[in-house]
Amino acid sequence: MGTLIFTFCWVSVNAILMKLLSVNGHIIIIFAGIPLIAYLVVSLREKRIEALIKTTIDRVQVDIDALIIVNNMTDFSKGINKDEFHRMAMIGIINIHMVDCVAPDCPCKEEYELFDVTSNQFSTLNENSPHSDTVFLDHFIKRYYEDAIVKFPNSPAINIAFSFYLFRVMKNIHASLIELSVATKKKPSLQQQFTIIRYKRIIEDLIY
C-alpha cells in the first residue's frame, strides 16, 4: 500500500516536472525511479518493524509508553491475517522474544498451561507458527500487561487497561474485577475513577 502511494507521488512529481520542463524521454526516468522508491519504502518499513521489536516494556520510562507497546501488540495480533506489516511485526517480536526469554513461567515455555477460553480446554503451542497461534498470543499479551504492572507498580492506568483485557479477551470476570479494585488503591485520577466505576458497572451488569 505504501509503495503504491509513493509510486503515485513519484509519477505525479514527474508529470509536473514534464509539464514545466517539457523534457523528452522523461517517461524513462519515471520508470527508472520506481524500483528505487519501492526499495526505500520497503527498507523504511523494515526499520519501523525493527524499532517496534526493540522497544520492550523494560526499556520504557513511563506507564503510557508501556500501554502503547501492549496496544501495538494487540493490533498486530489482530492483523496477522489481514495486514502484511502487522504479520511481519508479530513474527519478529515473537521470534526475538523466544530467543531471549529466560522466564520459566512465560507463555512461550512448554510448561505453561495455555487455556483456551473459547473451547474451555488447554491447548498446545503451535511451535511451527507461534505468531499465528491466537490462544498463545492472548496469553502472550496478558504477560505484557503483567510485566508492565510490575514495572510501574503505582500506575492505575495499566490495571484499568488490564482489567478490560481480562474481561474482554480472557473472559475472566473475577480477575478483571480484582484489577479494578487494585486500581482503586493506586490513587486514580478523577477520570480514572469514573472509568473504574463504569467498567465495574458494565461487568456486573453482565454477570447478574
| Size of site (CB under 5 A) for Zn ion | 3
The smaller minimum CB distance to Zn ion, of residues 122 and 194, is found at: 122
Contact 80, 132 (CB under 8 A): yes
User: Which residue, 108 or 182, has its beta carbon nearer to Zn ion?
Assistant: 108
Cell numbers 525511479 label which residue?
33
Rounded CA-CA distance 75/72 in Å is: 5
What is the nearest approach in angstroms of Zn ion to the Cβ of residue 140? 8
CA distance 102 to 108: 10
Q: What 3-state DSSP class applies to 121? A: strand
Instruction: Kindly tell me which of 52 and 96 has the beta carbon lying closer to Zn ion.
Output: 96
Candidate list 18, 38, 106, 178; residue touching Zn ion; CB under 5 A: 106
User: Given the rule CB under 5 A, which of 104-112, 156-164, 165-173, 199-207 is the region that contacts Zn ion?
Assistant: 104-112
Closest CB to Zn ion among residues 108, 114 = 108
Give CA separation, 131 vs 52, 92, 169, 170, 177, in Å. Answer: 16, 9, 17, 18, 29
> Which one among 96, 108, 114, 178 touches Zn ion, defined by CB under 5 A?
108
Q: How far is the CB of 108 from Zn ion (least distance, A)?
A: 3
Question: Phi and psi (nearest 5°) for 178?
Answer: -60, -45
Q: How many angstroms separate the CA atoms of 196 and 208, rounded?
A: 18
Q: Does 101 bind Zn ion (CB under 5 A)?
A: yes
Comparison of 100 and 205: residue with beta carbon closer to Zn ion: 100
Residues of this chain that interact with Zn ion (CB under 5 A) are: 101, 106, 108
